[in-house]
Amino acid sequence: MGHREDLLAGAKRCLLEKGWSRTTARDIVAASGANLASIGYHYGSKDALMREALFAAMGDWADDVQRSLADGAATGSDPAGRFESGWTRALELFSRHQAVWRAQLEAVMQAERDPGMREAFAAAQPEARQALVALLLGTDGREIDEETSRTLGSFYMTLVSGMVVQMAIDPELTPDARELIEAMRLTSTSTEGPASA
């Protein structure tokens, strides 16, 4: 590997071990064996390198999702059954990749002050939505139309964001698939009540 690849591998390792905010340029240099000046030469800044590292780590998560889909992890004859199977698998995958999601949560909090980060997250949204719909419905992402990907994917992304926060605070409080299905059932029945005068 060259210095650029070494820096990316070192930054990714630091990101997963130390998190976004606690990783310094010197940490990356120590982990990569490169020199401090090479960060600026190859990436422009430590923040730009950290963005690349985060999205590389998210790529590992996406690869794991694709393997899960190839294994047919989400099964069920009805939407609730497929959601239950898919969400159970999602919880397993999130547990396996907790360091990535903690780092992503930290990075999202920086996005307001970092236009490059905000743009990178915005560009990744459509693919992320599609991957979540595919995972939770147990289907090939290429079969999902744009409207379903946007609406259902946004809903699933909202669930996932809440799950990431809850897992970071206390994994024992994270709802399982049956609890979420019941919550969605309660929500739909409460919104179908009599209209107010």
Which DSSP string corresponds to 24-49? -HHHHHHHHS--HHHHHHHHSSHHHH
Q: How far apart are CA 149 and CA 54, in angstroms?
A: 23
In the chain, where are the structural domains located?
Answer: 54-191
Q: Which residues are CB-neighbours of 155 under 8 A, at least 6 positions away?
A: none
Contact 132, 153 (CB under 8 A): yes
Q: Which residues are CB-neighbours of 36 under 8 A, at least 6 positions away?
A: 25, 26, 29
Q: How far from each other are the two terminal CA atoms of the chain, in whole angstroms? A: 69
Q: What is the pLDDT of residue 114?
A: 85
Q: What is the pLDDT of residue 80?
A: 81
Residue 14 burial by Cβ neighbours in a 10 Å radius (0-12, 13-18, 19+): buried
Contact 176, 163 (CB under 8 A): no
- pLDDT 10s digits, 155-169: 988 988 888 888 888
Mark the ranges of the chain whose per-residue pLDDT is less than 70: 1, 69-70, 72-77, 191-197
Tell me, what amino acid is at 2?
Answer: G
Token representation of residue 180: 């979420």
- pLDDT 10s digits, 95-115: 888 889 889 888 888 888 888
pTM of the model: 0.76
Q: What is the pLDDT of residue 22?
A: 93
Q: What is the pLDDT of residue 192?
A: 59
**Per-residue b/e over 164-192, b at no fewer than 16 CB within 10 Å?**
beebeeeeeebbebeebbeeeeeeeeeee
Share of the chain above pLDDT 70, in %: 91
Helix residue ranges per DSSP H, 71-176: 79-96, 98-110, 115-137, 146-169
